[in-house]
Structures are given as C-alpha cells and as structure tokens.
Structure 1
Amino acid sequence: MYSVPAFAHECGFTNQITGQGSPSLQLFSLQRHQHEPPPFVVCFEIPRYISLISMKFTDLHSPSPIRPTKRSFLDAFDPLAGPASGTAPKRQRPELHVLNWLNTIPPVRTRSAPINSNKIDFTIPSGEFLTETRPFSNFDDMDHLQSKDEKDTSSQTTGKSNITTIKPSSSKYRSVLEYNHVEIDSTGLKMSPGIQELVQANILKGRSSPPLSQDLLNNTVTSMNLLGSSTGNVVNNFMSSAMFPVARSNLGHGGNSIWPRAALPFDPDYGYGISTPKPDYHVGYAIGKKSGFTAQEAHVLDHTRAQNYTQPGTGSILPFITVEMKSEATGGTLFHAENQAAGSGTYSVRAMEWLLDQAKAESTAVDSVSFSIAATGRLVVLSIHWFSPEEKIYYMSYVKSFNTTDTEHVQACHNTVKNIVDWAVGDRHDKLKKTLQTLFPLSKQWSKRSSMAAQLDGEDDKVDEIEDNEVQSQRSGKSRLSQRSRIQSNSRTSSQTRLIRMNMIDLYIRIKIVAYNAVEVATVYNIDSIVAFWHFLGVQILLNSF
C-alpha cells in the first residue's frame, strides 16, 4: 500500500506547493512527467486517492477551465505566435489579414480622377502638420453669431403655410418691411399732397378749447417721469394720462392680443414675412350700440368672413390708433417700437382697404389711413400710415414727436390725439357707415365662403364675383339675363364637381374596406390576398347592383 506522496511519485506526478499561509489553503497540483510513464499501481487505490483530495475541495482553488482562454484562441490566428515560452511574443490584430488583402486591391476610380497609389497609408501625420490648430475662440464667436441669427429668426404658422419671420428688434427687420412693400418714412417728406392736407387741416390744427391747467400738466410730467423709469407694464397708465384723451363712450380699447395675418402684405418671392401684430394698446370703435352702428351695419362687421379685418384685436372695431411702448429701463428702444408699429398700422390700413374694396366704393388714400404711436418713457413719436397706389407701397410717415418731460409738449400731444379722435368719430365714421350700408346685402353672399362646398371647390370664387356683380346691377337697374344664366350654369358646374368628388371619396372608402376584409380572410384561411380581394370586390359589386 502506498502513501499519498509515495503514490503520486510512483504514478509519475510531482508535488508542487504554491501559495503561502496555512497548509489547508495550499494547492496541490499534480503534474505528470512527460518522459517517465507511470508505473503499475493497484487500480482500487485510485478512487481512494481521489476521494481524499475531494474531501478538501473547499480549501482548494478552482481548477483551470477546460476550454481555451481568449489569449490562446487569438494566438491560434496569430502567424507570429510561437511555442509557449516564458515571454509571450507580441500578438498582431486578427483583422490584419483582411486589411492587408484590401490594400492589394486597386480602388475603383473614374478616368477623370487623379492617379493615386494603390496603397492606403493609415499613418497619422505628426510634427509641424499638427502644431497649428484653429483657436477655439473663433468657433465660440461663430456659435455666438449663429445663435444670434437663430434668435432673430422665428417661424410662425398661419393656416395653410409656415412663414418665416425676423424679430422686429433685429437690425435686419427694416429690410423685411421694405421687401414686403412697407416703408418707414422717418422724416415725413414722402407724404402725398392728400395726406399732407389731412395732417395739416385735421390733425395738427389748433384747438379753441381751453388748455390743460398748469397743475395737471405738472402732474402729468411727474407721472410720466416715474413711468419712464419703471420696469413693469405701464402702457395702461401711460394711455390714461392727460397726453392721450381717448376715453370716450363710443370708443373701444384693447391691447396685448395677437392679431391675425389676413391683412398683412407678403411677397412670396422674398419669403420672409412681417412679424404678427400684437400692439400694446389700440383704440377703435366700441363694440355694441355705443359705436353708433345700426343692426345691419353691425351684421356686416360681425360676419365671420369680415372679422379678421374689422375686429383683429379684442376690445375694439377697426382700430385707427395703435400704440407700441418700450421701457428703456429694460433695454427697450424706439427703433423696436417703430418696427412693431409699422406692422400693426399697415394692418389697419389694409383692413379698411379690404372693406372698401368689398363694397366697390370709390375711395382715396385718405379714406383708409391709420395712426400709430411709438413711445418710450421720455419720447412719443406719432406717425400716419397710408397707401401709395402709384408706388404700391404702404408708408409709415412721421407726423410729430413729443417730449414727456416738457409741459408744452404734453399740451401739444393732448391736442393732436384729440384731433385724431374727432376725425375718427367724424369723417371716418361717416365714410365707414356708408360702406357698411352698401355691403349689407352682399354680406349674405359671404356665407358661401364658409361652407364646406366653397372649401372643396375653388371655382366658387368666380361664382361669388359674378353674383356680386349681379347684385350691383340689380341695385342700379341694369340687370341682365345673360349674367343670371351664367350664374346658374356655373352653379350647376360647381354642384356636379362636388358630387363627383363625393362619389370618388365613397368609392375609395368602400375599396379600402374590401381590402381590409380580404387581408383578414387571407390570413385566417391561408389563401392569396389578391384572390380574396377580388372575391370580396365581386360580392360588393353584386350587393350594390341589387
């Protein structure tokens, strides 16, 4: 009988003791000699020896894995890997064979390409080529300029399309106005003779009414000085001062509401639109009977087709004064206020033009004018908005400026604004009432524009135009039978077109349902979808025939 060490020695194994510390934690690794075959031993002693080792399995380290390690696996693909030795050779990348093979393939190049070597050099250049780099500060400057342009540019959604606009505070905004046929006349020298006559005879004229008391003027100057240094929204306090006598029962007031874009001029060739108006304050006619409009006239003003023009903002009808105010304490500028006033003032002009055009009324540039006030805490600039039919340009012409810290300027501003209000509730109101009375029968025809048929068929525009001419002819006693027959013919054509469209939509829905059912049946019964579709379509046709 052999002892454990003697048995291991006789079997051709060497006893190697590794590790340090307690013998119970030492690893006995049995390594068989390569050149000495094991002697004959009693076979029944081998299980006993193995059981002795397994009894202390918890005290032994885990044996080496049976499958090869990652290193030995990669060495199998390494052509430079040699036999195992104390120092392992440096391995090459496994994909090196593929890269070497790709280098031997000539690249596919066109005949016009310059001659190039077939070898690809993956070496990164060093030395003087990498010493000069662009400073990061330049990239920072470019990012700053790019972010500034992005801040100046915004996109606004308008019903059918997206119009890109540039903010009114940008230095580029004046060019946006010009390309959309709006020009700011900062000197007032471009006024037409008719506009000049209106300004001199009605707006800047002297008043016979008693002036404001000196105490009221002094208090106004003091309050304006406080409002000028304020950082809050003080436009309501500003407009309720003695400088702006707009508190009348027949006038309506509003502000800080977004107007639609229906009456803004836009040049599609340029692409950039005027910023959507949102005046800080606007003055127009009151809503309701206080405005002096009859029920028929109010019917036209409140019509859904006319509301975008007659009531762009909440609180008033057809505004004739728009106010844009900027606080210098928060970085506001008069330049910004004038740019915003150019949009809202032009909108008021075009809204009145649209109403006059719908009534086919004879009008001049004076009939559609509007006024705007661009103000800071210390300065108020009054401008008049008008259209030049010869130049096709909407002008914003300078009228007068007032210093809020001067009592004489406060009195002059009071008189000027009062003259504007008198003109608006007088001549402008009378012209507007005549226009609305003309439009009252025509407003009944506008209902066709809001119907679903008018949205589906673009030819209704021509029908409405012919019907408008018919109403005008009937009013003047010149009705013609040919016009009436042409209206009926166009109406029949429009009805037939709409009927065809509805039938096509119904057919499309039916085919879609048939296709859906065919796919479901084909999936369940494992048949061809095309065959199932034609079967279902045939059944549908038979059902509709009977």
Structure 2
Amino acid sequence: MPLNIECPEPQRLLKRFLDESDSECPQPTKRQQLSPTPPAADHKDPQPSSLKAPPPTPTEPSPLSTPSKKPGSKDVDPAPASAPRRGRVDDWIAKGPLPRPSSAPPRLSCIDPPVIPDPLVIPYPPVVPYPGEEQRPLLEVLKEMSQSQSCGRGSATPGRNSRSATPHPDYRSILRNNGVFIDQTGAKIPQELRSLLDSAILNERSSSLSPEAIAEAVSTAVEVADSPEGNIYDLTGTAMLPIKRSDVGRGGNTLWYTDGLPRKQAYDTPLAKPKPDVHCGYLTGQRSDWTIEENAVIDHQRATRITQPAKGNSFPFFIFEMKSEAMGGTIWQAENQAAGSGACCVSAMRWLYREAYAAEDQPIVDSIAFSACVTHREVAFHVHHYSQAEARYYMSSIGTFQTVREVQACNNLVRNIFEHGLETRQKKTREALKQLYPFPQHWKKTRPAAVLDSQAADANDDQERSSKRQRAG
C-alpha cells in the first residue's frame, strides 16, 4: 500500500513573529525604510532558536511578497498622518540622559546659583593690606609662611625652640624676655660709655668731604628711593657710608651661629638667628694680620663658633641693616634685626674676656659694638653694650642722620667707629688672645666633633651587642 506523505507549506516564522509583536503598526511602504523594533525583554520566543527558519537572503524572492512594480507618485506619502509607534526599548532609551564626554563643559543647571546676601547680616569690611605689603619681596613672604606653618595651625604664639620672625609685631617682647632691650633715647648709656662716645665716636674730624663727594652721595640716595632693598647697598659705595676698606673684613647675608646669642631658658621662644646684610670685623684667611698663636685661639674648636659667627671676618663689631621703604621695609624692622646681631657681638667679647681673665671684671667699653639701620631717607646708629648690674643687653641710639642733608656727619661717625675698632678694640682683643695660648686646661678636654661622633657610634654598637647576648642567654 503506497504511503502518501503531504508536506505542509513552509511558513515564514520570522515574519509571523514580527507581525504578531507589532500588529498595530501600519504596513510600511518601500520608501519608508523602518528598522525592525527589537523584541521586548519579557517576550518569550514561541520556538527554540534551533527550529527557527533562517532569514531569507536578498536573492530569494519571498513567496508572500507581491510582484515589484514601479511606485507612482500616489504611492509615496510625503507627510504621513501619524508616525509609527516606537517599541518599549526605544522609549526607555529616550527617557535616559544623553551620554556626555568628560571633556564637555558643565551643564548650566549644574552651576551653583548666585548667593543672595542676607540683608540682616552685616558684611565685614574688606581687609586692606598695610602700605607696601603687597610689594614685599617674595623671599621674605615665604620665610614668614614657613615660620608660621612650623608653629602649627591655630597656635597663637610660637612653640618652644621655634624662632619668630623679626618683622612680627610681638618681636620686641621676645627681645625683652631674652634679655635684650632697645633704648630709643640713649638714656641707658652709662657714664663710662658716654665719655668714650663723646671723645672718640661722636666727635668731628679735621678733614672734610669735597662738594663732589657730598653731591654723589645725595644723588645716590635719591636714585635708590624707589628701588628694592638690593639697591640700598649702593649707599655703601659713597662718602656717606665708607665701609669698603682694605683693612676690614666684610661679610653679609649669611646666618650666624647662635652660640653667642642671648637666651633665657625660662622663656620658650628664642631670638631669630642673626643674618645682617653687612657685618664688618677683623680680616681672616690669607689677609689676616693675626699671629699664628692668636689664630690658633680664634680657630680652636671651642672658640671658633663664637669668635667667627659667620664667614668673612672674626670678632665683628659693626653691623649694617638695609631696608627699602618702597618694598615695605622700615627702621623698626631693621632695629629688631640689629638688636640680635649686636648682642651677639657683645656676647662674643664678654666670653673672650671671661676665658682670659676669669677673676677680673672687664670695663663695659671693652665689649661694645655698633650698628647702622639704613634706608634711602635716613641712617640710625646704635651702640650695643651690656649692663652688669641689670644683666641685660642694650641697644642704645646715638644719632640719626638724614641722607640728603647730613652726609658729612654720617661720614665722620662711620670713620670714627672703624678707627676705634681697628685700634683700641683690636689692641685689647690681642691682649686677651695672648692669655689663652697655650690653651687653658679645660680647653684641652674638648675633642673634635668627628671623634665624639665615632665614640657615640662605638657606644651604640657595644650596647647593641650586649643586648643581643642577653637575648641569646
């Protein structure tokens, strides 16, 4: 018996699926190339993917499609009545925010709205800087920032062993609490020192300056009026401040050792490290006129940080502090700086005399030093001395001179100070140095720093070895 098997006509499952998923959409024309809408996420496939018929290739004609014909003008709808309905995935994408690259500018809606001031709140007045503060040198500003940060956030005063800046308004109090006082009127000058000043320092000289030298000094003072601090040094090359001498050792702009700096242990804040713009003393090195024995004492490891607090000279006795008013510098700031440097010079001489003459009290005039605070407008001179009765270092004013009117008086005072330092003072210094050679017995116990460091390292090694033996036992 023959077996007749009828094969059903193949069906287009993909077309049926698309028709069922979007049956309400009108049949698009050939000119309306609508992309198929992806199926919804919750729509289940009626058949497995293995049973689905593959999509027809472009070369095979579809059995359900009508013969192609050239569309006429009536078949094209330029403006359809209603747009085709989008699927749910398209709606979900349309609702989300559009992606923006990271380099795109911020949205206007993300910018904070302008703050409307409260009419009940009274605003604080703007902070007006002090005159010249905005023109201060960058290095000085950075130093103050560094010192303020080292004090800690929120601290009102510097901590122990932290040094305050000399331009600080409270620095005069720090000077006082460390035993250094600024005598603006010269009332603290004792009679013994007053007699020396009147006879050897403040007296007039027989020689006078030429009109050309005076005119050059005045012209230089006028030229540097609007200049930074570095140009104020030009005054030292004129007859007003004749400090460029071959018999004087000059140094400057280097930090000093603080071994001779006055310090009260009961007070927390020490004085700022001295760093004068120019300091003058006795020659050292190849140009030194000290003897070998005198240099042996000066260069001894027990004395060198006091006898030579900085490079350029030994036993400095004349300090210069330069300030530019155009950059915010003042004589007040220069006096704060010179107070520490001058006290350090006096302390060095007092130490030398104590070592050389332990049982004798030295006259106050043997350990004095001088300083000059210079601007383009004036030069303020001071004498630094120590009061044995009060146990204080004083910086007493001895005269202020206008740079454009008193060039001759300023020249006389500078030359008298150098004459006293290179003659009377150096002679007494030599006598004290001779008393210290051969070295005192207590100096011989002093050992070089390298030896002390090696001994400390050996002691640490011995301690570590003993601790290891104890752990092993």
Q: TM-score, normalised by structure 2?
A: 0.68
298, 312, 315: which is aligned to 2:312?
315
407, 417, 428: which is aligned to 1:420?
417
Greater share of helix:
1
Q: Render the CA deviation track for 1:318-347: whole Å, top value 9, x for unaligned.
A: 110000011122222111111111111111
Q: Which one-letter code corresponds to 2:463 in the other structure?
A: M
Question: Structure 1 regions of 5+ residues with no counterpart?
Answer: 33-37, 39-45, 65-130, 458-496, 513-533, 539-546
Q: Render the CA deviation track for 1:104-145: whole Å, top value 9, x for unaligned.
A: xxxxxxxxxxxxxxxxxxxxxxxxxxx97996965986xx9x
Q: CA deviation at 1:220?
A: 2.4
256, 262, 270: which is aligned to 1:265?
262
Superposed, which structure 2 residues align to 1:288-303 within 5 Å? 288=285, 290-303=287-300
Instruction: Measure the CA separation in 2 of the matches of 1:416 and 1:450.
Output: 42
Q: CA deviation at 1:265?
A: 1.8
Contact persistence 2:368–2:383 (CA under 8 A) = yes
Change (3 A) 1:17 1:420: same
236, 241, 265: which is aligned to 2:238?
241
Q: CA deviation at 1:221?
A: 2.1
Change (3 A) 1:198 1:164: same
Q: Which one-letter code corresponds to 1:397 in the other structure?
A: S
Q: CA deviation at 1:243?
A: 2.2
Q: TM-score, normalised by structure 1?
A: 0.60
Contact persistence 1:325–1:375 (CA under 8 A) = yes
Contact persistence 1:15–1:28 (CA under 8 A) = no
- What's the counterpart of residue 20 of structure 2? 15
Q: CA deviation at 1:5?
A: 8.1
Q: Which one-letter code corresponds to 1:16 in the other structure?
A: S
Q: CA deviation at 1:396?
A: 0.5
- What's the counterpart of residue 379 of structure 2? 380
Residue 503, structure 1, aligned to residue 462, structure 2:
yes
Change (3 A) 1:293 1:53: same
Instruction: Measure the CA separation in 1 of the matches of 2:120 and 2:264.
Output: 42
Instruction: Measure the CA separation in 1 of the matches of 2:397 and 2:342.
Output: 13
Q: Which one-letter code corresponds to 1:190 in the other structure?
A: K
Q: CA deviation at 1:288?
A: 4.2
Q: CA deviation at 1:226?
A: 2.1
Instruction: Measure the CA separation in 2 of the matches of 1:28 and 1:155.
Output: 67
436, 442, 446: which is aligned to 1:439?
436
- The answer to which of 227-236 and 329-338 deviates more is 227-236
202, 205, 213: which is aligned to 1:204?
202
Instruction: Measure the CA separation in 2 of the matches of 1:321 and 1:54.
Output: 105
Q: CA deviation at 1:354?
A: 2.0
Superposed, which structure 2 residues align to 1:206-355 within 5 Å? 206-207=204-205, 209-231=206-228, 233-288=230-285, 290-355=287-352
Instruction: Measure the CA separation in 1 of the matches of 2:323 and 2:447.
Output: 40
Contact persistence 2:14–2:53 (CA under 8 A) = no
Contact persistence 1:156–1:163 (CA under 8 A) = no
Q: Matched residues, percent identical?
A: 31
Instruction: Measure the CA separation in 2 of the matches of 1:418 and 1:4.
Output: 123
Q: Render the CA deviation track for 1:11-43: whole Å, top value 9, x for unaligned.
A: 9x99231778657724567968xxxxx9xxxxx
Instruction: Measure the CA separation in 2 of the matches of 1:196 and 1:386.
Output: 11
Q: CA deviation at 1:418?
A: 1.6
Instruction: Measure the CA separation in 2 of the matches of 1:357 and 1:55.
Output: 116
Q: CA deviation at 1:290?
A: 4.9
Instruction: Measure the CA separation in 2 of the matches of 1:289 and 1:48.
Output: 103
- What's the counterpart of residue 50 of structure 1? 51
Instruction: Measure the CA separation in 2 of the matches of 1:139 and 1:214.
Output: 53
- What's the counterpart of residue 398 of structure 1? 397
- What's the counterpart of residue 190 of structure 2? 192
- Secondary structure of 1:164's counterpart equals coil
Instruction: Measure the CA separation in 2 of the matches of 1:202 and 1:441.
Output: 34
- What's the counterpart of residue 467 of structure 1? none
Count of residues paired in the alignment? 383
25, 31, 53: which is aligned to 2:36?
25
- Secondary structure of 2:350's counterpart equals helix
Contact persistence 1:371–1:385 (CA under 8 A) = yes
Higher relative CO (CA 8 A, sep ≥ 6), structure 1 or 2? 2
Q: Render the CA deviation track for 1:429-469: whole Å, top value 9, x for unaligned.
A: 11111111111222683572424665699xxxxxxxxxxxx
- What's the counterpart of residue 370 of structure 2? 371
Change (3 A) 1:319 1:28: closer
Question: Structure 2 regions of 5+ residues with no counterpart?
Answer: 1-7, 58-85, 90-116, 131-140, 152-158
Contact persistence 1:300–1:443 (CA under 8 A) = no
- What's the counterpart of residue 353 of structure 2? 356
